[in-house]
Amino acid sequence: MPTGEKSLLRFVTTGSVDDGKSTLIGRLLYETKSIYDDQYQAIEKSSKKKGLKEVELAYLLDGLAAEREQGITIDVAYRYFETAKRKFIITDSPGHVQYTKNMVTGASKADCAVILIDARNGVLTQSRRHGFLISLLQIPHLIVAVNKMDLVDYSQDVFSRIAEDYMDFSQKLDIHDIVFIPVSALKGDNVAVKSKKMPWYEGATLLHNLENLNVSADRNLVDFRFPVQYVIRPHANFRGFAGKIVSGTIAPSEEVAILPSGKTTSVKSIITYDGELKEAFAPQSVVLTLSDEVDVSRGDLIVRKKNLPAIESSLEAIICWMDDEPMTPEMSYIMKHTTRFVRASVKNIVYKIDVNTLHRQPADTFSLNDIGRVEIKLAVPIFFDPYKMNHATGRFILIDPLTNKTVAAGMIRGAERHVEDYVAGVAADDAKQKKSPHAVWRDLNITLAEREKQSGHRAVVLWFTGLSGSGKSTIAMELERRLFECGCRTAMLDGDIVRHGLCSDLGFSPADRKENIRRAGEVAKILFENGNIVLCTFISPFKEDRSIVRSLFPEGRFIEIHVDCDIEECRRRDPNGLYKKAESGLIKAFTGLSSPYEPPEKPELVIHTKNADIAGCVNALEQYLKDEFKLKIFKNG
């Protein structure tokens, strides 16, 4: 962000009906001098007309006649204001259950949510409902404003009871930053100025919290994603691609890929109305020019060459149904995802969520405001990131092609998976894997003994296990180079390489990790039986999975090498930036941080790499193979 430019915070206010959302925002606008004199005079006149003793600041937001008549918010209202520290976009969303879809729409791009709770009523069903929706939308920050404290004599006990009640409920949600503030929107207590009537409250005001909320860490500045909105061709000598950077950063000369064509090139320049930029970042709108003449159209996605999104035509997603007409399963809808439109149908409803109890229920269809998990089939694949990793490329809407109405909003969980996808790695007994039907076993054409006699060395599997960043691949590659130069037959299986091809369909759930190691073990077995010294570098965090692989080989032919390095040193090295991604929430279930690593109990060899150099580690390995294990490795002849 340019020096001196104010940051922008988008926040949504929500809660139950008549909790004072519009009044609170009106108070913020009034206290920050963000309303004109004629606006204030208009709402003052309306307040007197209704016989109110005080000016009803809520009228600043209740723009519809129906809203003023009923005293509720129906439509989503947006207001803008700024202070000396920051600019704000406020979304005042409806509290009535009938307008839940409006709340989802209003909150979809918020950095923070403010839930109001009436101090007289405590935590209501709608308060919990909106908390669940905030969790579902992955809004990272939540402020619970206990309003109307003036009507309960500014009681600390009332505030503490409500805060404790809501905190207990929030333990079920994916919300980790919650602040509780006692306020009176009508009187102005703790909104912009500290209240003298609640000396027991030692925290900051609502406005102070909003001004100082750190949202830069919530932005995905790692994964560059640029959906093309428009191709600009003012004359024959210029061709640029206009769009909004929805995540990540980019600079001229960086290599990029164009999806779906897969063509690669580099960024030539980044152009804005004010001139060219040396770097651009989300959420800037820019024009990119490319170094090569490649075919790019609206709906294409420009990404970094070595940082690609997923591509699938069958998805699992959480959707909120927003149409008065119920869902028609298998009906063809239009999915709008980034700047692309593709045909889509809801193939299966996995479950519907009771937002009051958070329980899952079977369902045959969705009605207005229903929320649940579905499987979606697309006519053509889309390029996406899971919503948790990247909101911009993980969300979509469904449109009725006949009426052109938006019928649902959704968040992509990932590719569609079924239990049969996991069968291969469910239990340890699966080392004795069920064979494909009609497959007939055939003995090796050339035996292992024959191959070993010709190569002059025994075949063996060297299984390197350890945390990411411990040095497994670096050490294994150097050892392989030495073995190769000695005339040995070698083969290398690296975790990252395997996941680019053989295991590219797998994620990082425990079941997927198990299947990843099972496949790697089977490939290692084939390479071993062909007389190779097979070097395998896998985190392989679970003892059971490594035991299954060990059981595939004859006694003494599987050498488990624990590459040991403490987590802090691995985080410091972070060769691929994975720890940084994991700590920012972009990678879930990361080994060593949020997922366990089970070190070997009795490995054949332990290599400590924290204070050792590569040559020393490889020397120790070579010495072990020659002396301790009696493995004969030498040049032919």
Q: Report pLDDT digits (tens) over 215-242.
A: 766 677 889 999 999 999 988 889 999 9
Distance CA 49, CA 44 (A): 9
CB 154 within 8 A of CB 197: yes
Inter-CA distances, 53 with 48, 119, 186, 348, 352, Å:
7, 21, 11, 55, 46
Distance CA 354, CA 356 (A): 5
Of 479, 496, 497, the residue nearest 488 (C-alpha)? 479
- Whether the full predicted model's pTM is greater than 0.85, yes or no, is no
pLDDT in tens, 409-423: 999 998 776 544 444
DSSP-based three-state secondary structure for 478: helix
Token pair 């999915």 is at which residue? 335
- Tell me which of 376 and 450 has the higher pLDDT: 376
**Which residues 6+ apart lie within 8 Å of 12 measured at CB?**
90, 91, 92, 93, 103, 106, 107, 110, 112, 113, 114, 139
Asked, for residue 589, whether it belongs to a domain, the answer is yes
Query: Amino acid identity, residue 217?
Result: A
User: Does one domain contain both 23 and 64?
Assistant: yes
User: Does one domain contain both 142 and 233?
Assistant: no
Of 448, 626, 615, the residue nearest 634 (C-alpha)? 626
User: Does one domain contain both 287 and 314?
Assistant: no
Residue 196 has pLDDT above 80, yes or no: yes
CATH code at position 395: 2.40.30.10
Asked, for residue 437, whether it belongs to a domain, the answer is no
Any idea what DSSP says for residue 552? T
> Furthest-apart CA pair in the chain: how many Å?
106
CB 261 within 8 A of CB 237: no
User: Does one domain contain both 186 and 294?
Assistant: no
The per-residue DSSP string of 24-56 comes to HHHHHHHHTT-S-HHHHHHHHHHHHHTT-SS--
Q: What is the pLDDT of residue 78?
A: 75
Of 57, 48, 71, the residue nearest 28 (C-alpha)? 57
User: Does one domain contain both 540 and 587?
Assistant: yes
Residue 632 has pLDDT above 90, yes or no: no
Of 15, 215, 37, the residue nearest 119 (C-alpha)? 15
Asked, for residue 430, whether it belongs to a domain, the answer is no
| Average pLDDT of span 427-449 | 57
How far is CA 277 from its chain centroid? Answer: 28
Residue 427 has pLDDT above 50, yes or no: no
Q: What is the pLDDT of residue 12?
A: 87
DSSP-based three-state secondary structure for 634: coil
| Average pLDDT of span 82-106 | 72
Q: What is the pLDDT of residue 443?
A: 63
CB 457 within 8 A of CB 603: no
Averaged confidence pLDDT in the chain: 83
Asked, for residue 433, whether it belongs to a domain, the answer is no
User: Does one domain contain both 577 and 554?
Assistant: yes
CB 535 within 8 A of CB 481: no
Total number of domains constituting the chain: 4
Phi, psi angle pair for 244, to nearest 5° = -115, 130
Of 421, 413, 419, the residue nearest 312 (C-alpha)? 413
- Containing 467, the helix (H) or strand (E) segment is none
Q: What is the pLDDT of residue 102?
A: 64
The per-residue DSSP string of 178-210 comes to EEEEE-BTTTTBTTTB--TT-TT--S--HHHHH
Residue 341 has pLDDT above 80, yes or no: yes
The per-residue DSSP string of 55-102 comes to --GGGGT--SHHHHHHTS--S-EEEEEE-SSEEEEEEE---SGGGHHH
Burial of 152 (0-12, 13-18, 19+ CB in 10 A): middle
| Average pLDDT of span 534-563 | 89
User: Does one domain contain both 401 and 287?
Assistant: no
- Containing 562, the helix (H) or strand (E) segment is strand 558-564
User: Does one domain contain both 467 and 616?
Assistant: yes
CB 482 within 8 A of CB 622: yes
Asked, for residue 147, whether it belongs to a domain, the answer is yes
Share of the chain above pLDDT 70, in %: 87
CB 108 within 8 A of CB 137: yes
Asked, for residue 289, whether it belongs to a domain, the answer is yes
Boundary of a domain, candidates 218, 234, 251: 218
The most confident of the ranges 99-103, 117-121, 308-312 is: 117-121
CB 204 within 8 A of CB 219: no
User: Does one domain contain both 338 and 375?
Assistant: yes
- Containing 243, the helix (H) or strand (E) segment is strand 240-244
User: Does one domain contain both 292 and 333?
Assistant: no
Asked, for residue 636, whether it belongs to a domain, the answer is no
In terms of residue numbers, what domain contains 289?
Answer: 225-304
CATH code at position 70: 3.40.50.300
User: Does one domain contain both 278 and 321?
Assistant: no
User: Does one domain contain both 403 and 317?
Assistant: yes
Intra-chain end-to-end CA distance of the chain, in Å: 66
Boundary of a domain, candidates 304, 322, 346: 304
DSSP-based three-state secondary structure for 565: coil
Distance CA 59, CA 65 (A): 10
Boundary of a domain, candidates 196, 218, 240: 218
CB atoms within 10 A of CB 436: 6
Asked, for residue 435, whether it belongs to a domain, the answer is no
pLDDT in tens, 486-545: 888 999 999 888 888 888 888 777 778 888 999 999 999 999 989 999 999 999 988 888
pLDDT in tens, 43-81: 777 777 777 767 767 666 654 434 444 444 434 567 888
